A = this chain, B = another copy of it.
Amino acid sequence: MLDADLERLGDQIDRLVTVEMRPAHGSVPAGLVVPLYQVCRAANGRPLSTAAAEALVNSVTDRPLLIVTGAGAPPALPAGETDGPPGAVTLALAAQRGLRARPQLITEEAHAPAVRECLKIATDGDIPLQIFPYGDPATAGLAAERILDRHTPGAVVFVERDGANAEGRYHGVRGNCRAPLDVARADLLAAAARRRGITTIGIGDGGNEVGFGGVREQVRTLFPRRADCTEGCPSGRITTVETDVCVSAGVSNWGAYGVTAALAAMIKDLDLIPAPAQEHALVEACLRGGARDGATDDHAISVDGIPSEGHSAIVTLLRTIAAFTSGQPVK
């Protein structure tokens, strides 16, 4: 694919996955999806979906890949949310089938049932799931190093995964400060990977997730009251955790589907992009695992307040965009 085609494809995908649709009083304050994207786009200098897909092609072809996901904490979201695992599993499958990567999912115990259910329906059971332990920063840092030692991944990707702020605390996008023991410090994998020169990609939608650390100051200025923490953390809710590429989308799953669509077009295998029924099944799997909608806290087949039809529509349009760009028939 020519550079110009790749650039255009990325712009098309990025535009679609940053169309804002959010219930009032849901998650991110209204009107932030596009500005958050623009900050990340400016920092990257290139369309984010194709930048991430290209980074994956270059780093995990025939190699191990770690994908970290799972957001939400008690009391509202004790078993995580429907945003994250569907995108993470979709991307894992795409890398496995399209790049012969050897993906491994990582999450914490509370979110494991949802991720496990997604893996069950989407794979033949051949993508392993590893649990990142809860605990203090020192223990978690050691766990992160050990994981990297054992797997020597080509890349670590984070999909809707909390990143600590400057005080080492974790937050929901609404500024709610999470109890330290409620969140496993899997975000430490990002800094550890970067120290080793391993490619890192963060996919998020609110500024509190791993990846936004590189544009933290710009992101803070976008939020009302500069993205305060509801319990008074001086640095606020935006994470300091950086990645090489930060993909900002309207819904984190969409960001992951967008990267998948870019990869699918680049290697001309559109079947990597989930069909609407597959996407729907992944969200259902999250529910079976106890996850809830992260915007409404409901145990409903919806993501960030958006009903299933909306997500079906997004993957349908991604398939159309990818097909046109790669010259394949639209299916």
Contact = CB atoms under 8 A, between A and B. Distances in A.
A142 interface: no
Interface stretch (A182-190, A193-201, A303-311): A303-311
A320 B308 CA distance: 11
B23 A324 contact: yes
Given A16-B19, A19-B19, A24 B310 contact: no
Interface stretch (A7-15, A53-61, A117-125, A131-139): A7-15
A179 interface: no
A16 B17 CA distance: 9
A20 interface: yes
Given A306-B330, A316-B310, A324 B24 contact: yes
Contact of A8 (B18, B31, B306): B31
Give the one of A19, A23, A307, A321 with max B CB within 10 A: A19
Contact of A307 (B12, B312, B320): B320
Nearest to A307: B330
Interface residues of A, number: 30
B21 A12 contact: yes
A101 to B, nearest CB: 28
Interface string A12-41: 100110111111100000110010000000
A43 interface: no
Contacts of A312: 313, 316
Interface string A316-331: 1100110010010010
A8 B24 contact: no
Contacts of A34: 11, 15
Given A317-B313, A320-B309, A8 B21 contact: no
Contacts of A330: 306-307, 310
A314 B305 CA distance: 18
A2 to B, nearest CB: 11
A277 to B, nearest CB: 12
Contacts of A313: 312-314, 316-317
A19 B23 contact: no
Contacts of A8: 20, 30-31
B309 A316 contact: yes
A313 B313 CA distance: 4
Contacts of A324: 21-24, 305
Give the one of A24, A312, A324 with max B CB within 10 A: A324
A126 B124 CA distance: 57
Given A19-B321, A24-B327, 12 more contacts: A8-B20, A8-B30, A12-B19, A15-B18, A15-B20, A20-B321, A21-B321, A21-B324, A306-B330, A307-B320, A310-B317, A310-B320
18 contacts: A8-B20, A11-B20, A12-B19, A12-B21, A16-B19, A19-B317, A21-B320, A21-B324, A22-B324, A24-B324, A24-B327, A306-B320, A307-B330, A310-B316, A310-B320, A310-B330, A312-B316, A313-B313
